[in-house]
């Protein structure tokens, strides 16, 4: 009888732990922002890392556009690939837990789309098609920056 109670208590604690983790995974560590956007609360180093990744995405996007403008599809593919999923592979799980699901989804979709742009350039797709892909990707960047702000907790 005691074993059954102990097993039930352990099961309840396990379910509760999973539920709390899932809630944080979806919600992240957020608060009301100062300008109507939702603030994601991160340690200063985490905030700097996320902002650095965003600057890398912007730099890659500029290099993609420069490559399209000069007709250098090899440059387009190389620049886009730098911002693809390979660049997002080693993110700290603790940091990922602090990011809301919608933020993570937008970010990961941008990385996937940069890989798609690289593949399109490798396949010799015409410049207007690649520019449309870049435009669609930038729409996600604008949506993210319109919805979220990053706030340092220390």
CATH label of the domain that carries residue 86: 1.20.120
For residue 75, what are the domain limits? Answer: 2-152
pTM, 2 dp? 0.82
Task: Give the up-direction half-sphere exposure of residue 9: CA atoms within 13 A in the CB hemisphere.
Answer: 6
Question: For residue range 94-139, what is the model confidence (pLDDT) as tens digits?
Answer: 888 899 999 999 999 999 999 999 999 999 999 999 999 999 999 9
Phi, psi of 39 (to 5 degrees): -90, 130
Say how many residues make up the chain: 154
Number of structural domains the chain divides into: 1
């Amino acid at each position: 009888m005691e074993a059954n109670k102990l097993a039930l208590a352990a099961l309840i604690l396990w379910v509760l732990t999973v539920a709390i983790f899932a809630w944080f995974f979806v919600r992240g560590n957020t608060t009301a922002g100062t300008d109507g956007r939702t603030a994601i609360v991160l340690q200063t180093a985490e905030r700097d890392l996320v902002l650095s990744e965003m600057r890398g995405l912007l730099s890659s996007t500029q290099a993609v556009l420069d490559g399209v403008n000069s007709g250098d599809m090899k440059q387009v593919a190389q620049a886009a690939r730098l911002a693809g999923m390979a660049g997002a592979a080693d993110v700290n799980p603790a940091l990922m837990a602090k990011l809301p699901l919608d933020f993570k989804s937008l970010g990961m979709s941008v990385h996937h789309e940069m890989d798609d742009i690289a593949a399109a350039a490798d396949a010799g797709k015409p410049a207007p098609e690649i520019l449309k892909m870049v435009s669609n990707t930038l729409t996600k960047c604008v949506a993210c920056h319109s919805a979220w702000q990053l706030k340092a907790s220390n």
